[in-house]
């Protein structure tokens, strides 16, 4: 023991500690400069070479983008369950459509309008009562509904069903639907595809004509002329609608059991959703989240960021903010600051946890809180945020101060 703590040893140790601290500080500064570089790249106004994005912004408003220079925090949560008129507490998806809100539940489509819920089921013409995805065409106002057994178009008060037997649908289980221009894109258990509402034709993408090992598609999003398909097990498939070319993004390390480097590409091949806004592509997986600015990837895990959990069901980006639906809370993030909403066990209360990177800034009490920590769907517009959970759907209001 005496030998270990001799004067020279202590001196060497101190020198080494100083060097180590300096190295850590330098690395941290590097990371910060990387982040700011990516964010400022994202802030550039990329030209819209189609008008779809601008139409979307116009239709859905841009208040969120303005307000999120500081991260928006939502409170005054109101939860809706079967007691309030929902057909089921299990809510897969939620979409704001003007003055009404559409919620997809296990037992039907629920529409919230003028303070009341109304349910639509197969009895009304819906393809299946299990509604897992909803999108609204900004061109026509038609509501497109992905169900557990077919795709429904709700237009003029009538439902029209598309399935494998009466159309070119790749599979009846429609995990995700996304309207982009004249096209309605679907991600299904048997491939992705899009329906041109003008020509009334389907085009299907599977392992036969796209760079995916298997066509297990789970979600998709689009913007700036590109479509990003979350291929479950195949990473992200990018499709350029102008050139009709594909490229894929997979985890470069090639192993399911590790992530070698968090920033070398998409962090895992089991992708669950993509969302594109402000020239940033966000990708969720059951292992964490990735952000891609067109040049650099960055990975986020629950141990090194404000992410509520690595198991992410869905995400949606609105302006610079991405809302992340995990199995253990709802997170939001603008590339710098995290706000994560968590409900306490056996209580209606909870908190919003604000983090700068992985540094805790504050824990804001919320009474009441979100409906449930198992979040599945989300939509934001202006000063409200709707969240679909496994125990109801809830609505939060932007806290002004």
Are 74 and 398 within 8 A, CB to CB?
A: yes
User: Does the protein bind another protein through residue 262 (CB under 8 A)?
Assistant: yes
Q: How far is the CB of 33 from another protein (least distance, A)?
A: 16
For another protein, give the closer residue by CB, 202 or 286.
286
d(CA 195, CA 186): 8
Fill in the per-residue mask, 69 to 88: x = in contact with another protein (CB under 8 A), - = not in contact: --------------------
Of 181 and 288, which has the nearer Cβ to another protein?
288
Q: Residues of 209-234 as b/e, b for ≥16 C-beta within 10 angstroms?
A: ebbbeebbbbbbbbbbbbbbbbbbbb
176 binds another protein (CB under 8 A): no
Spell out the residues 6+ positions from residue 108 whose beta carbon is closer than 8 angstroms to its own: 87, 88, 119, 120, 121, 126, 129, 131
Q: Exactly one of 9, 36, 62, 199 binds another protein (CB under 8 A); which one?
A: 9
In the bound complex, what is the minimum distance in angstroms from residue 85's beta carbon to another protein? 18
**Residue numbers 116-155 binding another protein by CB under 8 A:** 128, 130, 132, 148-149
Question: Is the Cβ of residue 182 or residue 328 nearer to another protein in the bound state?
Answer: 328
Q: CB-based contacts of 246: which residues, under 8 Å, 6+ apart?
A: 205, 210, 211, 237, 238, 239, 240
Binding part of the chain for another protein, among 15-23, 45-53, 96-104, 239-247 by CB under 8 A, reads 15-23
- Beta carbons within 8 Å of 85's beta carbon, 6+ residues apart: 110, 116, 117, 118, 119
User: In the chain, what is the straight-line distance between the N-terminal and C-terminal CA atoms, in Å?
Assistant: 58
HSE-up of residue 166 (Cα within 13 Å, Cβ side): 9
Taking residues 281 to 320 in sequence order and writing x for each that binds another protein by CB under 8 A, - otherwise, the string is: -----xxx------------x-xx----x-x---------
Q: Of residues 85-104, which lie at the interface with another protein (CB under 8 A)?
A: 89-90, 92
Which span sits near another protein by CB under 8 A: 14-22, 44-52, 136-144, 377-385?
A: 14-22
By CB under 8 A, residue 20 contacts another protein:
yes
Nearest CA-CA partner of 134 in 160, 113, 154, 114: 154
Residue 6 touches another protein, criterion: CB under 8 A: yes
Contact pick of 45, 99, 242, 257 for another protein (by CB under 8 A): 257
Nearest approach, Cβ of residue 288 and another protein (Å): 8
> Hey, what are 74's tokens?
């939502």
Measured distance CA(60)–CA(311) in Å, rounded: 29
DSSP line for 76-123? EEEEE-GGGT-S-S-EEEEEEETTEEEEEETTEEEEEETTEEEEE-GG
Task: Identify whether the C-beta of residue 191 lies closer than 8 Å to the C-beta of residue 183.
Answer: no
Note whether 386 binds another protein by CB under 8 A.
Answer: no
Binding piece for another protein, criterion CB under 8 A, among 40-48, 66-74, 170-178, 276-284 = 170-178
Asked whether position 29 contacts another protein by CB under 8 A, the answer is no
Give the chain's length: 401
Binding-site size for another protein (CB under 8 A) equals: 66
Contact status, residue 376 vs residue 93, Cβ threshold 8 Å: yes
Q: Which of 171, 176, 197, 332 binds another protein (CB under 8 A)?
A: 171
Residue the block writes with tokens 């392992």: 207
Q: Select from 65-73, 93-101, 314-322, 388-396 the region that touches another protein (CB under 8 A).
A: 388-396
Does 356 engage in binding with another protein (CB under 8 A)? Answer: no
17 binds another protein (CB under 8 A): yes
Q: Does 13 bind another protein (CB under 8 A)?
A: yes
Helix (H) or strand (E) holding 65: helix 63-67
**Distance in angstroms (rounded) separating the CA atoms of residues 391 and 235:** 30
CA dihedral 182, 183, 184, 188 (to 10 degrees): 180
- What residues line the site for another protein (CB under 8 A)? 3-4, 6, 8-9, 12-13, 16-17, 20, 24, 27, 89-90, 92, 128, 130, 132, 148-149, 170-173, 175, 188-191, 206-207, 213-216, 218, 232-233, 253, 255-262, 267-268, 270, 286-288, 301, 303-304, 309, 311, 327-328, 372-374, 389-391
């Amino acid at each position: 023991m005496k030998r270990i703590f001799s004067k020279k040893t202590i001196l060497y140790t101190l020198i080494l500690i100083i060097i180590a601290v300096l190295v850590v500080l330098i690395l941290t500064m590097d990371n910060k400069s990387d982040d700011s570089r990516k964010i400022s790249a994202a802030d550039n106004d990329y030209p819209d070479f189609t008008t779809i994005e601008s139409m979307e912004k116009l239709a859905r408003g841009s208040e969120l983008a303005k307000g999120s220079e500081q991260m928006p925090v939502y409170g005054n949560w109101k939860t809706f369950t079967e007691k309030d008129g929902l057909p089921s507490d299990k809510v897969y998806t939620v979409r704001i459509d003007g003055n009404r809100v559409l919620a997809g539940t296990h037992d039907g489509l629920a529409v919230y309008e003028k303070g009341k819920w109304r349910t639509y089921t197969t009895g009304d013409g819906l393809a299946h009562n299990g509604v897992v995805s909803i999108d609204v065409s900004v061109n026509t106002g038609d509501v497109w509904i992905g169900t557990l057994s077919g795709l429904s178009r709700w237009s003029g008060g009538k439902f029209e069903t598309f399935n494998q037997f009466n159309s070119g649908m790749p599979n009846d289980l429609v995990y995700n639907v996304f309207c982009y221009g004249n096209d309605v894109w679907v991600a299904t258990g048997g491939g992705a595809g899009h329906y041109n509402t003008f020509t009334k034709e389907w085009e299907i993408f599977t392992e036969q004509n796209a760079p995916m090992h298997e066509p297990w598609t789970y979600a998709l999003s689009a913007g700036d002329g590109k479509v990003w398909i979350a291929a479950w097990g195949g990473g992200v498939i990018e499709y350029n609608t102008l050139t009709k070319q594909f490229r894929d993004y997979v985890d470069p390390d090639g192993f399911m059991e590790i992530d070698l480097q968090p920033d070398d590409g998409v962090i895992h091949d089991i992708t669950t959703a993509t969302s594109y806004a402000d020239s940033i592509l966000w990708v969720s997986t059951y292992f964490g989240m990735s952000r891609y600015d067109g040049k650099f990837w960055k990975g986020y895990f629950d141990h090194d960021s404000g992410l509520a959990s690595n198991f992410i069901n869905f995400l949606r980006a609105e302006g610079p903010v991405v809302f992340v639906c995990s199995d253990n809370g709802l997170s939001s993030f603008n590339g710098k600051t995290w706000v994560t909403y968590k409900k306490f066990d056996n209580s209606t209360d909870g908190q919003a946890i604000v983090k700068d990177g992985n540094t805790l800034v504050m824990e804001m009490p919320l009474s009441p809180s979100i409906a449930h920590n198992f979040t599945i769907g989300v939509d934001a517009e202006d000063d409200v945020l709707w969240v679909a959970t496994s125990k109801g759907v809830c609505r939060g209001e932007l806290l002004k101060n």
